[in-house]
Chain A
Amino acid sequence: MSARWKAAALVAPLLLFLLLVFVAPIGTFLFRAVQEADVAPVLPRTVSVLADWNGAAMPGDAAFTALAKDLREARTRDQETGGGAIARAAARLNADWPGFRSLLPMTARRIAAAEGPPREALLSISEDWGTPAVWGAIRRAGGPVSDFNLLAVLDLKRDAAGGITAAPADEAIFRGILWRTLWIGALATVICLAIGYPLAWLMATAPPRWVPFLVAGVMLPFWTSLIVRTAAWMVLLQREGVVNAALQATHLITEPLPLLFNRGAVLLAMVHILLPFMVLPIYGSLRALDWRLPRAAMSLGASPLRSFLRVSLPLSLPGVGAGCLLVFIQALGFYVTPALLGGANDQMVPYFVAFYASRTVNWGMAAALSVLLLLAVVLVVALYGRLVGFSKVRTA
């Protein structure tokens, strides 16, 4: 066995482990973003008839016959097994055409007893079956895959003819959430950089006996649990908390200030939690800097500012890049801190991933939002690799 294969065999256990408990679950979950598994099992004939339909005019009698047959069978199956297949299909269709949540179960109940030709029977149960939009929703959800959820998280949807249009204003909330996430992430990164660079500069230039204290001042908070630091901000900022009590005791205010559950509280805690991730890489690259270079610049007549801007700053940019990357990526994924410290208008994409997965059990939307979030992360990492490269990253 050659050395390479021995080396690969040593890496294999961890690789296999991560493929099984990390890559495969995430892949399975993300596939839910495009998977359509709720409607086709309930309405198999309808879906196959609608495949040939042009989407503009009303579908023919074949579609009505298929739907009536599908619903009768699905209702019998649901009653025998106690499964909620019709309800699940209705929930999925309702996301496309609001009203389906009641229309489908109601039609299934009444068509079981209905007589006569299917078209008239269905139209007498509900006039909605006379609109192409309803049939379009069934066709779009017929799957096996569709771009419905991915379009939805971009505030887009498909019209009856299959063209992409803007989602109605009351459903179009996701672009705003995405911009908010990127904006909060960018703000946190910029603030961390503004505080972190001078601090790292001080750590790199302080007299040696002070350095351990400064490093400890950054490392101790860095090692403190995220949940502890979030709890600390909650206790500080809440209505009956430390800050309000102190301000009232010193008679600076009479009524407690609403310091919690707003954007400021979220940003404050995020900067507090992420600052060490900015400071440590910058400190690493400043410590490795050859300090004779800026001194040489000054001895050649450059002002301290010019020597900083032209020599020290460019040489520390790999650290700045690594710090910004670490802070921005982590900021995009923040869930616990905004959930506890933010208000309804301060929640970011991760909150809505959790919301769709746990509250409404809408895996498709949770997965589509996750695809969006992961794309943002991958894009930032790739951009970083392109601009800076990964070989230059140093951490303290």
Chain B
Amino acid sequence: MRASRILLWTFGALAILFLMAPVLAVLPLSFSSGSFLFYPLPGLSLRWYADFWTSDFWLPALWNSLKVGTGAALVAGSLGTLAAFGLWRAEFPGKSLVMAVLLAPMVVPGIIVAVALLLVFGPLGLTNSFTGLILAHAALGAPFVVVTVLAALQQFDAVQLRAAASCGASPIRAFLRVCLPQILPGVAAGAVFAFATSLDEVAVALFISGPAQRTLPRQMFSGLNDSISLTIMAAAMVLVLLSGLLLLAVTLLRRRSP
């Protein structure tokens, strides 16, 4: 092996270490029997997970996150899939402008969305409400569904739709029975992306949700701002496991798509 390859591998390994190590280094702290945020651990225990499980804040926050994420994924998934199908089906006037609007939530800084929604949702009664938070997170997740489903549709042969139509299927039936089954992995992956976006979102949740809609990341943010307890590390562990499951789901879905 040439020297330059050795150098490249060393550099790459260090870069991966930099990416992986910080989170891996702090997660074991959640199994500490003490309450310090450094090593060595005085002993092993599950007391911080018990605290997570029994406290008035953490478990409800987890349920809220799952609830909001599921709602956002359903809204973004259904609207996004329809839109992607329409974008793929035909050219229409103003398509690039429409595309710019559909993808805008990906580039607009989250804090601007959060403050704007606080201003506008307030008088509409959509702050301090699950509906408002789900709508906001659905808007932020929708572009990921559009992009993912568009990519899945690239692999789909449009001739099949004409074949279905000539066999007497209505356009809706043709979409549901011929197209949707083939792009379903892409649709599901898009919904998972939308769910993950919601699960990761702090700014909007911080500004427009009330105590009853506290999500897990928001609860972590308040905890970090206040005083760091090891329960936060237990919550981090829960979030890492959830993200791991989502990554696994997307990887499996990618493998299933043609």
User: Contacts of A304 on B, CB cut-off 8 Å?
Assistant: 4
Q: How far is the CA of A373 from the CA of B107 in the complex (A)?
A: 11
Q: How far is the CA of A155 from the CA of B244 in the complex (A)?
A: 46
User: Contacts of B111 on A, CB cut-off 8 Å?
Assistant: 333, 335, 350, 353-354
Instruction: Name A201's closest neighbour in chain B (CB-CB).
Output: B8
Determine whether the beta carbon of B90 is less than 8 Å from that of A25: no
Determine whether the beta carbon of B115 is less than 8 Å from that of A370: yes
A101 within 8 A of B: no
B152 within 8 A of A: no
User: Contacts of A236 on B, CB cut-off 8 Å?
Assistant: 22, 25-26
Task: Evaluate whether A246 and B86 lie within 8 angstroms (CB atoms) in the complex, with A13-B79, A14-B146, A350-B109 already known.
Answer: no
User: Contacts of A195 on B, CB cut-off 8 Å?
Assistant: 15, 18
Instruction: Name B251's closest neighbour in chain A (CB-CB).
Output: A219
Quick one: which of B80-117 are within 8 Å of A by CB? 80, 82-83, 85-87, 89-93, 98, 101-102, 104-105, 107-117
User: Contacts of A23 on B, CB cut-off 8 Å?
Assistant: 101, 104
B119 within 8 A of A: yes
User: Contacts of B12 on A, CB cut-off 8 Å?
Assistant: 198-199, 202-203, 214
A18 within 8 A of B: yes
Determine whether the beta carbon of B87 is less than 8 Å from that of A7: yes
B224 within 8 A of A: yes
Contact of A24 among B104, B109, B120, B199 (CB under 8 A): B120
Instruction: Name A276's closest neighbour in chain B (CB-CB).
Output: B19
User: Contacts of B225 on A, CB cut-off 8 Å?
Assistant: 339-340
Determine whether the beta carbon of A17 is less than 8 Å from that of B109: no
Task: Evaluate whether A10 and B83 lie within 8 angstroms (CB atoms) in the complex, with A217-B19, A229-B22 already known.
Answer: yes
Determine whether the beta carbon of B98 is less than 8 Å from that of A275: no
Determine whether the beta carbon of B116 is less than 8 Å from that of A225: no
Task: Evaluate whether A231 and B91 lie within 8 angstroms (CB atoms) in the complex, with A15-B83, A240-B38 already known.
Answer: no
Contact of A11 among B8, B36, B75, B83 (CB under 8 A): B83
User: Contacts of A14 on B, CB cut-off 8 Å?
Assistant: 79-80, 82-83, 102, 142, 146
Per-residue CB proximity of A198-236 to B under 8 Å, as 1/0?
110111010000000010011111011111111111111
Q: How far is the CA of A283 from the CA of B114 in the complex (A)?
A: 33
Determine whether the beta carbon of A232 is less than 8 Å from that of B109: no
Instruction: Name B242's closest neighbour in chain A (CB-CB).
Output: A225
**Whole-angstrom distance between the Cβ of A276 and the nearest chain B Cβ:** 7
**Whole-angstrom distance between the Cβ of B69 and the nearest chain A Cβ:** 12
**Whole-angstrom distance between the Cβ of B100 and the nearest chain A Cβ:** 10
Quick one: which of A6-58 are within 8 Å of B by CB? 6-15, 17-19, 21-26, 28-30, 32
Interface size on B, residues (CB 8 A): 80
Contact of B109 among A12, A241, A373 (CB under 8 A): A373
Interface centre among A22, A205, A240 (most CB of B within 10 A): A22
**Whole-angstrom distance between the Cβ of B139 and the nearest chain A Cβ:** 5
Per-residue CB proximity of B177-199 to A under 8 Å, as 1/0?
00000000000000000001001
Determine whether the beta carbon of A22 is less than 8 Å from that of B228: no
Instruction: Name B22's closest neighbour in chain A (CB-CB).
Output: A232
User: Contacts of B85 on A, CB cut-off 8 Å?
Assistant: 10
User: Contacts of B171 on A, CB cut-off 8 Å?
Assistant: 6
Determine whether the beta carbon of A13 is less than 8 Å from that of B37: no
Determine whether the beta carbon of A229 is less than 8 Å from that of B101: no
B42-50, B52-60, B231-239 - the one binding chain A: B231-239
A63 within 8 A of B: no
Q: How far is the CA of A203 from the CA of B22 in the complex (A)?
A: 21
B62 within 8 A of A: no
A169 within 8 A of B: no
B63 within 8 A of A: no
Determine whether the beta carbon of A242 is less than 8 Å from that of B26: yes
User: Contacts of A202 on B, CB cut-off 8 Å?
Assistant: 8-9, 11-12
Task: Evaluate whether A381 and B107 lie within 8 angstroms (CB atoms) in the complex, with A232-B22, A276-B19, A353-B112 already known.
Answer: yes
Task: Evaluate whether A333 and B109 lie within 8 angstroms (CB atoms) in the complex, with A238-B37, A246-B39 already known.
Answer: yes
A374 within 8 A of B: yes
**Whole-angstrom distance between the Cβ of B28 and the nearest chain A Cβ:** 10
Determine whether the beta carbon of B115 is less than 8 Å from that of A29: yes
User: Contacts of B236 on A, CB cut-off 8 Å?
Assistant: 225, 228, 231-232
**Whole-angstrom distance between the Cβ of B213 and the nearest chain A Cβ:** 16
Quick one: which of B1-38 are within 8 Å of A by CB? 4, 8-9, 11-12, 15-16, 18-20, 22-23, 25-26, 29, 36-38
Interface centre among A5, A234, A276, A332 (most CB of B within 10 A): A234
Task: Evaluate whether A335 and B98 lie within 8 angstroms (CB atoms) in the complex, with A10-B89, A11-B83, A238-B228 already known.
Answer: no
Determine whether the beta carbon of A199 is less than 8 Å from that of B101: no
B240 within 8 A of A: yes
A245 within 8 A of B: yes
Determine whether the beta carbon of A6 is less than 8 Å from that of B26: no
Sample of 15 A–B contacts (CB below 8 Å) = A5-B92, A11-B86, A14-B80, A18-B142, A22-B105, A23-B101, A24-B120, A214-B12, A223-B247, A242-B37, A244-B38, A245-B39, A333-B111, A357-B119, A374-B109
